[in-house]
């Protein structure tokens, strides 16, 4: 039995529909986890305090609520400690909800961070931002 033109059209439609469904599924799964970029810089606040500015930008398609900022310290080869970082005046407060393309700026007193490093006798390895869903976003700590 030879294939007719309607058979070819039916197969073409079935393949096209399957490709469309797969692409929609991939887009949905990619958009579930928020994407965040973290930038670190230093600045001077009130002409006396040096602060670390943490710029958190939502580069994903879904809003996310940032709950906390932590320094991850290396206290040996494999042991780490978390330290809560309270923000200072002039920066955004946590928790903070940021939507698609929005930015949250957190300012943390640099001297307080140095004291934490002295208390734990360890340098900071990276900064970690946590959101309400439990996702962790990390950036290497490059502030001297």
pLDDT of residue 22 exceeding 90, the answer is: yes
**How is domain 34-140 classified at the CATH fold level?**
Immunoglobulin-like (2.60.40)
What are the tens digits of pLDDT across the range 68-127?
Answer: 888 777 664 334 555 556 666 566 777 888 888 888 888 777 777 777 777 776 777 788
What's the CA gap between 45 and 107, in Å, rounded?
Answer: 9
Nearest CA to 137 among 51, 64, 127?
127
Q: Span 48-77, mean pLDDT? A: 77
Note if the pTM is more than 0.85.
Answer: no
What's the CA gap between 87 and 107, in Å, rounded?
Answer: 5
The domain limits of the chain are 1-32, 34-140
Contact 53, 91 (CB under 8 A): yes
What's the CA gap between 96 and 93, in Å, rounded?
Answer: 6
Q: CA angle 123-55-57, nearest 5°?
A: 125
- Percentage of the chain exceeding pLDDT 70: 77
What's the confidence (pLDDT) of residue 15? Answer: 94
């Amino acid at each position: 039995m030879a294939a007719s033109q309607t058979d070819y059209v039916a197969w073409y439609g079935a393949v096209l529909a399957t490709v469309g469904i797969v692409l929609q599924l991939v887009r949905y799964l990619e958009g579930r986890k928020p994407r965040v970029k973290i930038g670190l810089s230093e600045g001077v606040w009130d002409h006396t305090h040096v602060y670390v500015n943490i710029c958190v930008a939502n580069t994903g398609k879904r809003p996310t609520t940032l709950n906390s900022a932590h320094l991850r310290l290396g206290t040996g080869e494999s042991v780490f400690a978390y330290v809560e970082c309270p923000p200072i005046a002039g920066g955004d407060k946590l928790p903070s909800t940021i939507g698609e393309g929005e930015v949250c700026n957190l300012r943390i007193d640099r001297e307080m961070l140095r004291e934490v490093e002295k208390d734990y006798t360890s340098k900071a390895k990276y900064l970690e931002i946590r959101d309400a869903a439990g996702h962790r976003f990390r950036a290497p700590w490059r502030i001297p």
